[in-house]
Structure formats: structure tokens, C-alpha cells
Structure 1
Amino acid sequence: MIDSLVAFVIGVAGGDAALAIVLFTLAVRLLLLPLGVRQARSARVRERLAPKLRELHKRFARNPRRLSEETAALYAKEGTSPFAGILPGLAQLPFMWLIYRVATHPTALAGHDLLGAPLGQQVAGMIANYGLISWPVSVFTAVIVLIALVAWLSARSIRASMPEEQPEALRRVMPLLPFGSVLAAAVLPLAAGLYLLISTAWTAGERAVLASRPL
């Protein structure tokens, strides 16, 4: 079944498996665009609530439990939550699982590559097969570096958009989430890394565009 599905998608892309992954990723992100809009609206709500959150922080600074309850109630009144920003990432998990199944299938991506680097191999496998200093490893490394760059830009954007009144734990965790894609790319096959690169770049661009438009 996986072979048939992959053959169909690659056929749509003219026989180029790397292009097929890019097109698949773009289709997924278009499908999840409403969640991205919801995420942007949640960010606007957080900005609007900043003064009220600041007041709650002053009132209940010595009562963390009450502060947490009042903060949750304030977000609930606005129809959102401090964790609304992670919804697009969670929604991608099924598609990421599908890419992983395809990438690790024995024959689905056999013979397909990205600029000479096998799409079905992990970076450790490429090092074992081609050597540390080799073109396939360089291609995989470039993908990981680009993902890291996008993650760094995303982390800066997240950190800058979070009001100081956010719970400290959330302020620490949220900017770190984009770097999960770097760790994933380092252990998953190149096909999954390519998916992560396109998807994280889309996320960064989507955040920038929606932040500048009324919602």
C-alpha cells in the first residue's frame, strides 16, 4: 500500500521524490492554514490581555496557584488558552508519522535522492556508507543547518511576542519548541528532514505574514 501511495505521489511530481515531498508538505500546510490563523489570533489575544495579566501577576505574586487559576480563567473568557500556539505542531504529527513510515519503508524511496543524498537514509547511515567527508553527508548537513536557522529565527519571534506576564515555565519552554525539529532531523531519514525544513520555513513565514495583518 505504501509503495502504491508513494508511486502515485512521485508520479504527480514527475518522478522526482524530493519534489513530491515538497509538494506534499505544502499541501499539508495549506490544509492546516486555519489552525495557523487561530494561532495568530491567540497571539493577538495575548497582547491584548497583557495589562490584565500584569495586574494579576502583581495581585497574586505570592500565590502561584491562585495566579494560575485566574490566568486560565482570563484566557477562557477570551475563548483561547496559553497553549493554543502549539496546535499547528500537534496537528502535523499524523503527517510526520506518514513521512516517517515512507522514509523507513524498505523500497518506497529506493533509488531516490536529494542532490545525490539518498532520501531514505539517516545521517548516521550516510556517514557509514559514504564517509564523514562526502557529498551526501554535506547535503544532509546543509538541511539540518537550514532547519536550525529557521528554528533560531522562530525562537526569537516567539520570545519577542510573549508578554512578561506569561507563566515562567511557559516562557522557557515555548521558545525551545522549534528546536525539536533540529533534533528530529538529526535522527530521522533525509526525507523527513526535507519535510521538516519546508514545514518549519512555512511556519516562520506564516507567522510573519499573519502578524502584520488584521485578523
Structure 2
Amino acid sequence: MDLSTLPVVNGLLQVGADLLTTLTTALSPVAGGAAAALAVVALTLGVRTVLVPLSVLQVRAERDRRRLAPQLAALRRRHGSDTRRLQEAVQRLYTSERVSPLAGCLPVLAQAPVLSLVYALFTHASIAGAANALLDATLVGIPLGHTLLAVVTSPLWGHAWVVLVLLAVLAVAVETSRRAAARWNPVEAPAPGQPGAGATAALARWAPFVSVVFAAVVPLAATLYVVTSAVWAVGERAVLRRLVR
């Protein structure tokens, strides 16, 4: 079943398409053929601006975890490899200190519907029964509905560098964010002899780069959204960590 045929989903697609079309029209005099791509960037910046209060909560959650780090380390030493008891003890600590472990995920969760909308807008041939004009939009000759695979396996393969540059920017932003988080709120590494220590360390090191893999397999418009959001997050977090108390 195509969910876009549902009245609510179809209505959201129509609103999203109208918004991006309006932004594209407004940006065309200055951006020319890249106006639609710039419209996606503008949409991303607008969403991130609206979500600043959630980012503040995220930074406060980081500060709380930093404050509780000695107690968390003590709990890990006390319970060792007993994962169930450790999780229960950590949950009790968070509850007693009124700290939400999910607060750090709020900006990501709040953006998921918007990113899904952008993805849908550039993967549907028609919206509300009309041809999807957004699929004609391009960036340096690449349709915004094309994925990296579609580009490298088509006559447009020579333009693949555009997507590769975006992925490189995203990788740098992810690594910068990861290192800043490690400095701001260091996590005690598992003891070398502890079961699963190597896997845990590897997961912590490479899990943030899942967004790079995701950006490589979605339409270029969604890649632009992810890259813009990641770059914004790096700057935003650096500012908020100095301002939020």
C-alpha cells in the first residue's frame, strides 16, 4: 500500500511541495538553477531554528550526564558485567536526579518527520494527482531525486563529485561533533577484559557515521538536508555549550 494515497499523508506532501516550490521561486533570481537545492537548505535552516529549544534541552542533558559521570562509573564498577542490574541502577539514578536519558535524542527525533517528507517529495512521480515538478530540479546537473548510485550508473557519473563532496563535508561534521562530545562529556571506556569491550568501543567510534551511509543512499535533496543539519549542529552545539547553564 502506498501511504501517500492516504488523505493526511497526501495533504502533507502537497503542503511540503507548495512550500518548496514557493521557496524555489523566491530564490530563483539569485540562485538560478540551484534555487530548488537552496530551498531545501533554507527549509533545513528554518527547521533547525525552530528546534533550538530542543537543542538547549539536549545540551542540558549532556551537562547532567557530565555531572553524574562519577556515579555512573561507580555503578559500572559495582555491577561489572551484570547488564540487567546495571541498567536498573542507572535508571534509578536518572529518576532520582530527574534526568531524562532521551533528552539528547529530541532534535533528531523531531527532524525525522521533516526528513521523511523531503525524502517522499523527491521519490514520488506525482503529488495530489499532478506531476511532481520538484523532480525536474537539479544541482549542478544532478536531479535532486537521484541517489549517488543512480548518478554513478548513469551518463551523469561525471557529476558524482558533487555528492562525494557533500558526503565528505558530512563525515567531517560528524567526526567534529563526535570529538567535541568526547571532550565535553567523556565516557569511561570499558575495561579491556570486560565481555564485549571491543565491540562497545567500536560501536561508539563508528555509529555516528551511520548518517553518512544514509546520506549516500537517499535522494540528493535528502542528502542536502542531512548535511546542512549536521553542519548546523556542530556550530549550534559549540555555542550552546558556552551559553547554557
TM score, norm. by length of structure 2: 0.76
Corresponding position of 1:152: 175
Corresponding position of 1:121: 146
Stretch deviating more after TM superposition (171-180 or 13-22): 171-180
Amino acid at match of 1:10: T
Query: Shift of the alpha carbon at 1:175?
Result: 5.0
Corresponding position of 1:96: 115
Corresponding position of 2:215: 185
2:182 is aligned with 1:163: no
Deviations 1:135-179 (A, max 9, x none): x2111111111111111222223334233189x787765554431
After TM superposition, the structure 1 = structure 2 runs for residues 1-215 of structure 1, keeping only pairs within 5 Å, are 1=14, 3-14=17-28, 16-61=35-80, 63-106=82-125, 107-130=132-155, 132=157, 134=158, 136-160=159-183, 161-164=185-188, 173=203, 176-215=206-245
Amino acid at match of 1:80: V
Write the distance in 2 (CA, Å) between the matches of 1:170 and 1:200. 24
Write the distance in 1 (CA, Å) between the matches of 2:71 and 2:17. 55
Write the distance in 1 (CA, Å) between the matches of 2:116 and 2:203. 23
Write the distance in 2 (CA, Å) between the matches of 1:23 and 1:193. 14
Task: Please state whether the residue corresponding to 2:22 is helix, strand or coil.
Answer: helix
TM score, norm. by length of structure 1: 0.86
Amino acid at match of 2:56: V
Stretch deviating more after TM superposition (119-128 or 95-104): 119-128
* Contact 1:117-1:140 at 8 Å conserved across structures: no
Stretch deviating more after TM superposition (54-63 or 147-156): 54-63
1:131–1:99 CA distance, 2 compared to 1 (3 A): closer
Q: How many percent of aligned residue pairs carry the same amino acid?
A: 38
Amino acid at match of 2:28: G
Amino acid at match of 1:90: L
* Contact 2:59-2:244 at 8 Å conserved across structures: no
* Contact 1:162-1:171 at 8 Å conserved across structures: no
Deviations 1:65-90 (A, max 9, x none): 32221211111222223343222111
* Contact 1:159-1:175 at 8 Å conserved across structures: no
